Structure 1
Amino acid sequence: MISPSNKKYGLAAVRTELHPIYILHRRHFRETSLILECLSADYGRVGVVARGATRGRKRGGETMQILHKYKIAWTGRGELLTLTALEPLGATLNFTGEALFSGLYINELVMRVTGRHDPNPRLFAIYDQTLKSLAEPEASIEPILRRFEKVLLDACGYGLELTVEVENGEKIDPSRDYVYIVEQGPIHIQSGKPGIVVSGETLLALAGYHELRAPQLIEAKKLMRFVLRHYIGDRPLVSRALFHKPTSDAQSI
């Protein structure tokens, strides 16, 4: 396997051996091919072309499904590479209803927050564990999503300060309210500075000090939406619209 730190994309051809990935997104390309956006521990997010994938059963195009884990290899140069091999990896996770929509949501978040060719083994591990949690029977969807949003930002270098008031260094008091300012952290609510109001109890729950319970889940969702908007912009998330269709009463994202 070529070291991912040797970033010669666009300068010299890259050829990899089989390694684990998840498919985040797929779209048709020309008449018989697919473009796959994949998440890899060693290479980060990569775009590969599966040539002829929709022509009969060549390259198993019918099995190239999002939220599934595979081993793939590719070759090429530049932003878009060419798939040379693909094999299923591990047991297939089954997603239905809100868990399926949630999987699509975290895929879209990864696509919006990350750039291509930026290796991030921690993000891959977090993503892998989150999908397994979502696929469990009776999974508690909202806490899983809030944890993923928080750790996604951590893994990508946008970590949230949740345990200390940034202006004076005092520990967060669970009985008090704070104003959260993006790229800074929580400050005393009487400061008058713009931000989103959040309780100390919710901040500490997001930090992992205790379980996110119903009251904190409402605040945590508002806080994470506020913070994520700063990094992904105002363009709506397509996956979020699925939760507002008449056939779904899901409120997790």
Structure 2
Amino acid sequence: MRNQSLTGFALHQRKYRERSYILHFFSQEFGRVDGVIRQTPPSLYHLSILQATGKAELKNFSQLDVQGQPFYLQQKALFAGFYLNEILLRLLPLEEAMPATYQAYIFTLEQLKQLPKNDPKDLQLKIILRQFEQIFLEELGYAIDYFADSLGNQIDPAQFYLFIPQEGFIPNIQPRGFSGKELLLLGQDQQIRSENVALLAKLYRTILTELLGNKPLKSRQLWVSQQQYS
């Protein structure tokens, strides 16, 4: 890259040497781009434009220009924002455009900003997060076929299945996992609704756990701690 203009959002930054920062930036043009910036980096959830130069994985960032006002996230929405940034930081491929995820990120921040204070059982929050995960996982290449198992056989509504991210749904002789009836209903209506949000949470967590490996999500640990003391 040479004086490449990037529009996007800071995912994470950390101090680097005396007056610089390493900035992980989610851009509209090239997805995640990492670089060194020699000025105060943009705040989280604040649309920004900067210039990137360099052939190595770590670019030089300059000419930072923040746009308008940031998305102000409060209380539980703020923890959700931390979660979004963490899974993006850990799973986005480097310098590969992710247009659907980028648009979903902006839309999700807007929804989180407007999250109602009275959200029984955090239902609306869960729906918002599942919607983002669905788009992100599909663009990463993990679209789910709800109508066929790992061998290509049609899902049997009377059968139970385990889900293996690299393989798909595997028939399970034990009555645990996902019922075929549930899977077929998800396939027929992939809109995320209150009645299927728990099932999708279980399914998406299975995929994300596989992709993230053994290192736990810090944002999830913060969420659990907040729930314990709230």
Shorter-chain-normalised TM-score: which range?
Answer: 0.7 to 0.9
TM-score normalized by structure 2?
Answer: 0.83
The unaligned stretches of length 5 or more in structure 2 are none
1:209 Cα deviation from its structure 2 partner: 3.1
Which of 168, 174, 177 is equivalent to 1:185?
A: 168
1:112 Cα deviation from its structure 2 partner: 1.3
Give the paired residue count.
221
TM-score normalized by structure 1?
Answer: 0.76
Greater per-residue helix proportion: 2
Once the two structures are superposed, residues 157-196 of structure 1 have per-residue CA deviations (whole angstroms, 9 ceiling, x without a partner) of 22222343443542574x7643222222224433x6xxx7
Which of 125, 131, 143 is equivalent to 1:159?
A: 143
Which of 17, 40, 43 is equivalent to 1:30?
A: 17
For residue 109 of structure 2, give the secondary structure of its aligned residue in structure 1: helix
1:248 pairs with 2:215: no
Paired residue for 1:18? 5
For residue 83 of structure 1, give the secondary structure of its aligned residue in structure 2: strand
Q: Distance in 1 between matches of 2:23 and 2:189?
A: 34
- The structure-2 alpha-carbon separation of the partners of 1:211 and 1:237, relative to structure 1 and needing over 3 Å to count, comes to closer
Q: Map 1:195-234 to 2 at 5 A.
A: 197-199=177-179, 200-201=181-182, 204-205=185-186, 208-213=189-194, 216-234=196-214
1:150 pairs with 2:129: no
Identity, % of aligned positions: 28
- For 1:223, give the aligned amino acid: L
The ranges of structure 1 where at least 4 consecutive aligned residues each deviate by more than 6 angstroms after the TM superposition are: none
1:42 pairs with 2:22: no
Note if contact 1:101-1:242 (Cα within 8 Å) is conserved in structure 2. yes
Q: Map 1:95-174 to 2 at 5 A.
A: 95-138=73-116, 140-170=124-154, 173=157
Q: Distance in 2 between matches of 1:224 and 1:146?
A: 8
For residue 243 of structure 1, give the secondary structure of its aligned residue in structure 2: helix
The unaligned stretches of length 5 or more in structure 1 are 1-13, 54-60
For residue 219 of structure 1, give the secondary structure of its aligned residue in structure 2: helix
- The structure-2 alpha-carbon separation of the partners of 1:98 and 1:204, relative to structure 1 and needing over 3 Å to count, comes to farther
